[in-house]
């Protein structure tokens, strides 16, 4: 496989071709327990939070829920050990509803963007998923690192056959 094929793949593959459609969503008024149940049952790590018009207002992830008990993204293993021994952790989020603990605004991308842009954005923001929106911020889908990896591997297989 030539270097040109490799380097152009990220530009040729579009977010809309790779994203997951028919995404489960939640509103900011739902309880955190409901979200935790959905994440566990569906084996997913995050949900877009939408308003009544299906506009993306935030995202709620396992990390957001863990932050309620003080387990933040920036905490070390030593912090977690101290927490288990009864010391409070800094940066604890409090609340009972999605709106209380969701990450807002959600990091979004347009469907016509290429996957190279999506990868760069995920890398810059240190996140694993992007909500895909139209010009009015309405939800179209979600794209994850796993979606991108699968698409790239499929493309490589196609190129090897051809």
According to the model, what pLDDT value does residue 155 have? Answer: 87
User: pLDDT at position 11, please?
Assistant: 80
Please give the helix or strand (H or E) that residue 35 lies within, else none: helix 32-42
Can you tell me the distance from the alpha carbon of 30 to that of 21, in angstroms, rounded to the nearest whole number? 22
Radius of gyration of the chain from its Cα atoms, rounded to whole angstroms? 18
d(CA 150, CA 156): 10
Q: What is the domain extent for residue 47? A: 3-161
pLDDT tens for the 162 residues of the chain, in order: 444 445 577 788 999 999 999 999 999 999 988 998 898 899 888 999 999 999 999 999 988 887 776 655 555 656 666 666 665 555 556 678 999 989 999 999 999 999 999 999 999 998 989 999 999 999 999 999 999 999 989 988 988 887
The domain total for the chain is 1
pLDDT at position 2: 45
pTM here? 0.78
CATH of the domain at 40: 3.10.580.10
- Give all strands (DSSP E) within the chain, no chain letters: 46-50, 56-61, 108-110, 129-133, 139-144
pLDDT of residue 158: 87
């Amino acid at each position: 496989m030539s270097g040109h094929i490799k380097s152009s793949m990220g530009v040729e593959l579009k977010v809309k071709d790779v994203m997951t459609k028919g995404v489960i969503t939640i509103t900011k008024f739902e309880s955190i327990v409901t979200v935790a149940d959905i994440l566990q049952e569906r084996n997913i790590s995050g949900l877009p939070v939408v308003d009544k018009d299906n506009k993306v207002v935030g995202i709620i992830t396992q990390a957001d829920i863990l932050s309620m008990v003080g387990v933040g993204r920036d905490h070390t293993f030593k912090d977690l050990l101290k927490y288990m021994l009864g010391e409070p952790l800094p940066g604890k989020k409090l609340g009972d509803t999605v709106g209380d603990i969701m990450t807002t605004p959600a990091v979004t991308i347009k469907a016509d963007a290429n996957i190279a842009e999506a990868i760069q954005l995920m890398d810059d923001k240190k996140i694993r998923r992007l909500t895909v929106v139209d010009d009015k911020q309405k939800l179209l889908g979600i794209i994850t690192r796993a979606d991108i990896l699968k698409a790239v591997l499929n493309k490589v297989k196609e190129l090897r056959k051809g």
